[in-house]
Structure 1
């Protein structure tokens, strides 16, 4: 069955005194998550704002990605069968059937 949705992402960058901060907001229409990241320039380094933007934005997106995976794992636990004993918390995806039980 085809499934198409649009999620909106907004990225905000702020720079002040050698520190760049980023905030990324994901709006799925039903949920909103916010990731944060920062980058600090060493005072002896050349001032290249794009590098601070890239680092801070990347870190904010990593934070957001971690939150999104955490939400998905909680959702999986809410609809999946109990853990089989191999791992109390699967990395991603649905738990695999226990092959020793013919599943």
Structure 2
């Protein structure tokens, strides 16, 4: 049976001086995960806010991706453990 899910993602960028912070929030309907990232403009680099936004956002998304992978791994281990317990109980 085919099904379609929609997960909502919101990206928030905060700029303070030469620093940019990003929070990306994933809402699956049952779980919410938040990734964080930051970027700082070096004093010797030209101030291009778009680059800081891109770096901070990509770092937040990388953090979110790592959390999502850990969640999937933990869930998979839980399923395997449940199967092992079920198999032992019927043996």
Same fold (TM over 0.5): yes
Question: 1:63 offset after TM fit, Å?
Answer: 0.2
Which residue of structure 1 aligns with residue 15 of structure 2?
15
CA distance in 2, matches of 1:3, 1:81: 27
Question: 1:44 offset after TM fit, Å?
Answer: 1.2
Question: 1:81 offset after TM fit, Å?
Answer: 6.0
- Where does the alignment leave 5 or more consecutive residues of structure 1 unmatched? 83-103
Which consecutive aligned stretches of 4+ in structure 1 deviate over 3 angstroms post-superposition? none
Counterparts of 1:1-103 in structure 2 under 5 Å? 1-80=1-80
Larger relative contact order (CA 8 Å, sep ≥ 6):
2
Q: Residues 26-82 of structure 1, C-alpha deviation per residue, up to 9 Å, x if partnerless?
A: 000011000000001001110100100000000000000000000000000011269
Give TM-score, length-normalised by structure 2: 0.86
Task: Number of aligned residue pairs: give it.
Answer: 82
- Where does the alignment leave 5 or more consecutive residues of structure 2 unmatched? 83-91
CA distance in 2, matches of 1:5, 1:40: 36
